[in-house]
Amino acid sequence: KAGVTQTPRYLIKTRGQQVTLSCSPISGHRSVSWYQQTPGQGLQFLFEYFSETQRNKGNFPGRFSGRQFSNSRSEMNVSTLELGDSALYLCASSLQASQETQYFGPGTRLLVL
Amino acid sequence: AQSVTQLDSQVPVFEEAPVELRCNYSSSVSVYLFWYVQYPNQGLQLLLKYLSGSTLVKGINGFEAEFNKSQTSFHLRKPSVHISDTAEYFCAVKGGGGSNYKLTFGKGTLLTVNP
């Protein structure tokens, strides 16, 4: 069974631009969560989607948003990029919402210049 | 709110030596506990998890961890490490205090295995 896939793997943007990241969960998994990883703040929860609905949200500004499609694939969007948004963005999938075990993808590394 | 403390940010060891990576958590209710490993330029791979039952949990690559409720610890151990175990290891907790939807991670421990 294929794992979680994320595209693109690397991305370079400039301040003020917006970016969209994509995540395809493990086949059969319906919940997708997003995390941001930075050297300073570590791994932080962004949000969780299940059945095309945002179920939970972390403590991030409204510039961070996401959505989930009927096939459980999810996209994350960051508008008006700031230098501090440079990070590794990780997607994790699980069978159901708030299920105990999450499986992570390889991440998308975003660099904002 | 729940939190995770990984007591060592870096742990250097020699190949074939035993290693213990320490993790303590704080939560007033039952939690699920996890160890993930991250190799350079990669995502997180699940090493092992404690959900319930036996407090000694065995994972992949010869790692094991012991859940100690009284000490709120979940230390990761391996009796003999290999060069290929060099990576960053993250302890995480899920559940408790209405936060059962997300993983709360420690800051990570960089394990460096030297020849």
pLDDT greater than 80 at residue A57 = yes
Longest Cα–Cα distance in chain B: 45
Amino acid occupying residue B5? T
DSSP letter string over A4-53? -EEE-SEEEE-TT--EEEEEEPPTT--EEEEEEEETTTEEEEEEEEETTE
pLDDT of residue B103: 87
Cβ within 8 Å, pair B34-A106: no
What pLDDT digit, counting tens, does each position of B22-47 carry? 999 987 677 889 999 999 888 999 99
Chain A hits for B107, CB-CB cut-off 8 Å, are 42
CA distance A3 to A6: 10
Q: Which residues of B touch A (CB under 8 A)?
A: 32, 34, 36, 41-46, 49, 51, 90, 92, 94-95, 100-108
pLDDT of residue A73: 97
Pull the structure tokens for residue A65: 């948003």
What pLDDT digit, counting tens, does each position of B71-82 carry? 999 999 999 999
CA distance A69 to A54: 11
What pLDDT digit, counting tens, does each position of A59-96 carry? 999 999 999 999 999 999 999 999 999 999 999 999 87
Percent of chain B with pLDDT over 70: 95
Q: How far is B34 from chain A (nearest CA, A)?
A: 9
